[in-house]
Amino acid sequence: MRRIYLDNAATTPLDECVLDAMMPYLTSQFGNPSSIYSYGRESRLAIENARKSVAKILNAHPAEIFFTSGGTESSNTAINASVRDLGCKHIISSPVEHHATLHTVEHLHKTGEAALSYVKLLPDGHVDLADLEKLLSESTDKCLVTLMHANNEIGNMLNIHAVGELCKKYDAIFHSDTVQTVGHFPFDLRNTYVHFITGAGHKFHGPKGVGILYVNENIKITPFVHGGSQERNMRAGTENLYGIVGFAKALEQATANYEKDSAYIKSLKLYMMEQLQQHLGDVSFNGDVLGCSLYTVLNASFPKTDKSEMLLFSLDINNICASGGSACTSGADAGSHVIRSIANDPDRVAVRFSFSKYNTKEEIDEVVEKLKTLI
């Protein structure tokens, strides 16, 4: 039985052209980028060319792009640097952030390094910008605002420019977890008031284990990882050469095909919504699903029954990959903190379906048919 993969918000398959770009650096061009002989210089050139490519696509300066191991390291670096280097003593976040952010801000609060406030959410799961301004205006300490650009579980998108303007007004540092949007939406960082954004290659058909941290040129931070002079003394450790090359190639591909791919993927999301409503009756959707939302994510809610409580397990047995929320917490029994924050109904079961350019309507038809027997 073939596998139907509808969990692309967790990770995506590697694009063949990305693998082709990486292969020379996995085989013959393996030199350490810090070595001074030709093998090393060739590797260094590949990294710097990748940096220039990423910076151009994001409309940033190459000196503002740092390669990391992924979104978690990038967010940890940004949040810790904001508190320890930039004087932020009050962190404002939301209860629906990725745990890479939530656990980091909770740790800094627990150790007494920063006060912590959570902005209110509107009924549809969006951040309440009026409450954000209230928190900023009332704070007597310098603030770090850390809010994700798009929620990885329900797909809601933040108005990053509106939040940036509020941060500018109150002289706050702004970090946005953009892991779900880098590679899926165009960015213009030159004209966006934001100090840090993050990216992870595996979210847009690149390799795992490589990400970026954008650090605005107007701020100066110290390294989060110590031990070497790599990444212009900002991130110690031998660079993930083939990962970095793959990240840049995947971002180039995603950008070149954005219009076509995003329209196609959005059509799959809307088609699945229609089919679920038509064939399953008592189905609802979490988040602002038809409003300001990721075109890749659909979070559906079904009535809780003896059968539906085992829904993800039953889908897996039938070779269908979907999730109850973030892949990072899928092994826990606690369930989704995002769903608890916006729609805490114990009589419903939430399932996240997320799509890529490789999915088809025929696959969705198969999944809906199977869901009819499972719910």
Separation between Cα atoms, residue 214 and residue 311, nearest integer Å: 39
Please measure the distance between the N-terminal and C-terminal CA atoms of the chain and give it in whole angstroms: 21
CA neighbor of 210 nearest in space, from 231, 189, 188: 231
340: tokens are: 């608890």
Asked if 176 and 58 count as a contact pair (C-beta separation under 8 A), the reply is no
According to DSSP, residue 121 is labeled: B
Separation between Cα atoms, residue 77 and residue 197, nearest integer Å: 11
Separation between Cα atoms, residue 80 and residue 126, nearest integer Å: 25
Active site residue 292: no
- CB neighbour class for 372 (10 Å; exposed up to 12, middle 13-18, buried from 19): exposed
Separation between Cα atoms, residue 3 and residue 319, nearest integer Å: 5
Asked if 198 and 213 count as a contact pair (C-beta separation under 8 A), the reply is yes
CA neighbor of 44 nearest in space, from 31, 54, 61, 63: 31
Separation between Cα atoms, residue 52 and residue 43, nearest integer Å: 14
Alpha helices in the chain (DSSP H): 16-26, 38-58, 71-84, 99-110, 129-138, 160-169, 230-233, 241-256, 258-280, 311-317, 337-342, 361-374
In order of 206, 246, 250, 352, the CA distances from 16 in angstroms are 10, 10, 10, 26
Point out the residues that are catalytic.
Answer: 328
